[in-house]
Amino acid sequence: MDFVKEDSKIFLGNNIRCLRKKLRLSQEELAGRIGLNRGNIASYEKGTAEPKICNLLKLANFFKVSLLDLTKRDIQNGIPNQQLNENQAVLNIDTVEILEKYNKNAEELKEVLGSLHCYHCYKMKSIEELPKDMQMIVTNFEKLYEVTQVLMDSHNELINFVKSKCPHSNQDTND
């Protein structure tokens, strides 16, 4: 899944390199501080690999910049040195709006899944009338539903964690 657009790859790699050099860190040192290996950092800087979201969060938090700044803006001359030394991650208002959109989409998806589960439970009453292959699908739906619930909970936890790091958010979340 190619979640980072081509222009973002250019900014991301250049931004990681720029911020790393401002802190006078080697790729090896940066990697060690955020729990990756030097090859990961080199690949991100070259644009030959895309970091997972958890690694993007680690990088943004380490450099004390927003995800949006790290991926979408050319920050070679735009981040003051004192911001690099602050002890709190910064998320801008655009990021908060994106998080709110994800939160709203997650709530809508949760509603749809709840409706599907309700329909599934209703149909389970007549499972004996279904062909054998359909019975297997219906039986496995419950397992898929449980996995989906775990993923939805993790998604909400991640959104809430990122929002908690943002001084612009209202800190209220809908679970």
Domain ranges of the chain: 6-85, 93-164
2 pLDDT higher than 70 = no
Between 164 and 114, the higher pLDDT residue: 114
Mean pLDDT in residue range 121-129: 74
What does pTM read for this prediction?
Answer: 0.45
Task: Estimate to the nearest angstrom the gap between the alpha carbon of 11 and the chain centroid.
Answer: 18
Mean pLDDT, all residues of the chain: 77
The 10s digit of each residue's pLDDT in 14-50 is 999 999 999 999 999 999 999 999 999 999 999 899 8
Q: Can you state the angle between helices 38-46 and 6-22, rounded to 10 degrees?
A: 130
- What are the structure tokens assigned to 129, written together? 């009338």
Over residues 73-94, the mean pLDDT reads 56
Closest CA to 62 of 97, 86, 81: 86
Query: So what's the pLDDT on residue 19?
Result: 92
Please give the CATH number for the structural domain made up of 6-85. 1.10.260.40
Distances (CA, A) of 164 to 17, 96, 97, 124, 146: 27, 10, 14, 41, 27
